[in-house]
Structure 1
Amino acid sequence: MARREVLMIGNPKLREESANITNFDNLLKEVVQDLKDTLSYLQKEKNIGRALAAPQISYLKKAIYYNSNGEEIVMVNPKIIWKSEEMFDVWDSCFSFEVAFFVKIKRYKKIKVRYQNEDGKEVVQQFDDDLSELFQHEIDHLYGKLATDYLIDSENIIMRSEWEKRYK
């Protein structure tokens, strides 16, 4: 249980599809604790961020940890089972980009996700707006996709310092 190094864009492991988790054992608990420790550190260090996916810390299994405003969610084997027709533009960044730049992309405004919690219990939950965007981003990591894959126009990329001037 420790803070782990986050893989950076360009690392081929970020492009690999993660495996489903079948054992809800001590190894999963250790990985979740590493996600918690790493996210907590990054939130303090970067002053941004709400979630982290296991592949970002070299664990190629389908697990996500979210912590924001006192709410924690552990998602194991998440799958988006429904998407709204409505989409919206978001400025997306990533700890695997060192939050050095943002890309403006389209995401679904609402999604429903089926996942298991840390104990293996199935959960179905709907996420709207910023949480919809966030969980689409994190679930993408489990399939080797990055926010930059959605970039269509080169005008839709901005360095963090400029983003903070304009949008924060």
Structure 2
Amino acid sequence: MSILKILKYPNIKLRKISKPVKNFNNDLKNIINNMLETMRKNNGIGLAAIQINIKLQIIVIEKIHPLKKVLILINPKIKKKSKKIIKIKEGCLSIPKYEYITNSRSKNILVKAYNKYGEKFFIKAKNMLSVCIQHEIDHLKGKLFIDYLSPLKKDRIDKYIMKKIKKNEKT
């Protein structure tokens, strides 16, 4: 297994739209294992393949799944969202310097996905798991959680991150 580099905002590659997985083979299993290792090394709870520059619809989630297991979602699609909204603080491994931002997400969702063997399944997710899945599916669509913010707040974050980047370049 390998620990891979996580793309950091404002890297334009994070805005790419991921393609569906077509081949459920050993290469896919290796990608999933590398994603899990990378996520764990960076103390994350979820990771989309696009965050490690792999343009496939793969998500791994750990530590918040109700069964306390690893959750792998391949080609996930949200089939149903509740009207109940939850306000929750979100963070992102691709925007690590900015900590957390409060976003509004559906409290309950129903997701159709495939496991690493190509078997279709459905999962009902609520609360934090629901938020995490929605966050990672957004990544697959080239969307970041800061995109939900007002232009003023997003501009502040952009300036903060660019200032950090310039500071790091000087050292």
Bin of the TM-score, shorter chain as denominator length: 0.7 to 0.9
> Contact conserved, 1:7 with 1:56, CA < 8 A, in 2?
yes
Separation in structure 1 between the aligned mates of residue 101 and residue 148 of structure 2, nearest angstrom = 9
Aligned residue for 1:154?
153
> How far off is 1:154 after superposition?
2.8
> Contact conserved, 1:17 with 1:144, CA < 8 A, in 2?
yes
- Higher strand fraction (1 or 2): 1
2:90 is equivalent to residue 57 of structure 1: no
> Contact conserved, 1:35 with 1:65, CA < 8 A, in 2?
yes
Show structure 1 runs of 5+ residues with no match: 44-48, 160-168
- Aligned letter for 2:153? S
- Aligned letter for 2:123? Q
2:9 is equivalent to residue 14 of structure 1: no
Separation in structure 1 between the aligned mates of residue 91 and residue 149 of structure 2, nearest angstrom = 12
2:61 is equivalent to residue 66 of structure 1: yes
Q: Percent identity?
A: 33
Show structure 2 runs of 5+ residues with no match: 161-171
Alignment of 1:87-166 (within 5 A): 87-98=85-96, 100-152=98-150, 154=153
- Aligned letter for 2:57? K
- Aligned letter for 1:62? Q
- Aligned letter for 1:129? N
Aligned residue for 1:166?
none
> How far off is 1:122 after superposition?
0.3
- Aligned letter for 2:58? A
- Aligned letter for 1:89? K
Aligned residue for 1:86?
84
Question: Taking structure 2 as the reference length, what is the TM-score of the superposition?
Answer: 0.84
Q: Which runs of 4+ in 1 moved over 6 A?
A: none
Question: Taking structure 1 as the reference length, what is the TM-score of the superposition?
Answer: 0.85
